[in-house]
Amino acid sequence: MSKTEEWGKPAERRGVSCTPGVTFTLTFPCLFSDASPDFLLQRLTTVLALTTLISAFGSSFQYGYNVAVINSPSPFMQQFYNTTHLERYGRPMEENLLTLLWSLSVSMYPLGGFFGSLMVAPLVNKLGRKGTLLFNNIFSIVPAVMMGVSEIAKSYEIIIVARLIVGICAGLSSNVVPMYLGELSPKNLRGALGIIPQLFITIGILSAQVLGIRNILGNSTGWPLMLGLTAIPALIELLLLPFFPESPRYMLIQRGDEKTAKKALQRLRGWDDVDAELLEMHLEDQSERAEGRLSVLSLLSQRSLRWQLISIIVMNMGQQLSGVNAIYYYADSIYAGAGVRQNDIQYVTVGTGAVNVFMTIAAVFIVEASGRRLLLLCGFAICCAACVLLTVALSFQESVSWMPYVSIACVIIYVIGHAIGPSPIPYVVTTEMFRQAARPAAFMVAGSVHWLSNFTVGLIFPFLERGLGSYSFIIFSFICLVTLVYIWLVVPETKSKTFLEICQMFAKRNKVEIKLGDGDLPLKESKESLEDAVRVTAF
């Protein structure tokens, strides 16, 4: 009988003793080699698919929706700010004050996202992944009601506070959903399912753009309803997600509840014999116990995680500082310069959003074939080239008649490049680079960097644009290039690797050995591991 067939047997028939308090040795033939065991090469079951869709729609969709929801109705919202001030104080609002209040309305969202990221580690460790997503809906429903009644209450302050609160919702969801889905997924589906949250972010952006069309809700009477609609995905998630499993890895490794973890795995995988996958989780648990549990502070000083931490910081900074928000900010003026009528720009913007959704869907289907690293490299390379060409095109836009069309093409090419790599993949690899105990703290660091970078671009870009004009995109192209070079030199391919295999890959760069429990054997990644024995203490 082959070794792979041997793993098809229940534990007792493989000669594995699970008596508590007894130390045993077993041959684990495939976990740390390229020859993947069958239990990790699995299909997408109905339960796993529904859990993915409900959590992504209920949480990630809101992130994207609230990014774009105030763009189209902004003139009418600013008019409301001015009218409210006039009714209160008997005089129109000064232009500088209006600019300040509107800047706060926009910037409170990424600031809230930063605060939400700081809450990730304590909440997911206390409430679990699913529990945190359910709790997070408070930060969506409450601000949705606040924004919906803001016009009736004649208070623009309510909108500013609500944007901060809904930003907290986005900060939590942008980190917890990828973590949750990454822990639910078998390794052969982890990349595809890890991109689903980003797909729903782009769908949320597109939905806000469509609803923001003047003839729908992007007008003087429809904008409060448009802002309040963010409560609907939250309510759907609150009603449906409780019927689906919590992360089995969280239940087994962090809560020590093997019975619940096993039931959750059986539902997610669609069959009863999940002993081998449970064993892989136990091995991860044992390796972590050898190092101890990690807080955020210890994560920052842990030598064995040094390059993983640097990598997620670089990728999240590169994702946000690469100019994606600036591209969207500049898009309307580019379209106008190309001769698109003012009333038609909103439809072109919707078309750009549709391209973003389509390319993210493409990334879902190609990530497991092409790998994470290739998509990151190609994505940042495309963005870098598009920024350089856009700088040239904008410089000659007034003097060359056909150059505005080149500018539009550059915007679309940039969106395509960002959608296939820089946008979705950092979330996937953040899940993969860290084991269970370090993962919440890692997402907390990655999320904080993500939102601070987002906030920084929103704060600084208007000044860059005023001072440098089109040449500001050269800065973004340089950031894309630096990020690309770092990924090329440091970030390995994590496709079809277990969490422990990825940990071992970085262990070589960090110049440390990863040990299991009280054993002295480092994990093996080479083909020699097919014959190696892994010593594990009883669970």
d(CA 469, CA 463): 9
Calpha distance 110→136 (Å, rounded)? 16
Amino acid residing at 341: R
What is the tens place of the pLDDT at every residue in 322-361? 988 777 766 777 787 767 787 888 888 899 889 999 999 9
pLDDT 10s digits, 484-537: 999 999 998 888 787 778 888 888 788 777 655 444 334 443 333 333 333 333
State the span(s) of the chain assigned CATH 1.20.1250.20.
Answer: 43-244, 296-513
Report the C-alpha gap between 89 and 96 in whole angstroms.
16
Single-letter residue type at 100: L
Instruction: Flag the least confident range among 125-129, 188-192, 397-401.
Output: 397-401
Confidence (pTM): 0.82
How many residues are given for the chain?
539
In sequence order, what are the residues at sequence separation of 6 or more whose Cβ sits closer than 8 angstroms to the Cβ of residue 58? 133, 137, 233, 234, 236, 237, 238, 240, 241
CA dihedral 166, 172, 174, 175 (to 10 degrees): 170
Give the integer Cα–Cα distance in Å for 178 and 196: 8
DSSP 284: H
Distance in angstroms (rounded) separating the CA atoms of residues 174 and 294: 22
* pLDDT at 301 (0 to 100): 75
Contact 191, 47 (CB under 8 A): no
Residue from 275, 404, 348 nearest 10 by CA: 275
Query: Which CATH topology does 296-513 take?
Result: Growth Hormone; Chain: A; (1.20.1250)
Residue 514's pLDDT is what? 62
Label residue 420 exposed, middle or buried (CB < 10 Å: 0-12, 13-18, 19+): buried
Give 273-319 pLDDT, tens digit per residue: 888 888 888 887 776 665 555 666 777 777 878 899 999 999 999 99
pLDDT value at 62 more than 80: yes
Structure tokens of 296?
A: 């955020």
Q: Which residues contact 203 (CB under 8 A, 6 or more apart)?
A: 61, 64, 357
What's at 271, amino acid-wise?
Answer: W
In angstroms, the CA 425 to CA 430 distance is 9
273 burial type by CB count under 10 A (0-12 exposed, 13-18 middle, 19+ buried): middle
Look up the CATH number of domain 43-244. Answer: 1.20.1250.20
CA distances from 444 to 430, 431, 498, 531 (A): 11, 12, 22, 38
Residue 367 backbone dihedrals phi, psi, to 5 degrees:
-65, -35
Q: Which two tokens stand for residue 377?
A: 């490299």
CA 412 to chain centre: 22
C-alpha span between 247 and 261 (Å, rounded) = 8
- Asked if 319 and 422 touch (Cβ cutoff 8 Å), the reply is yes
Q: Is 26 helix (H, G, I), strand (E, B) or coil?
A: strand
Q: Which amino acid is at 504?
A: Q
Q: Spell out where 411-520 has E strands.
A: none
Which residues partner with 24 through β-bridges? 536
- Report the relative pairing of strands 24-27 and 533-536 from DSSP bridges: antiparallel
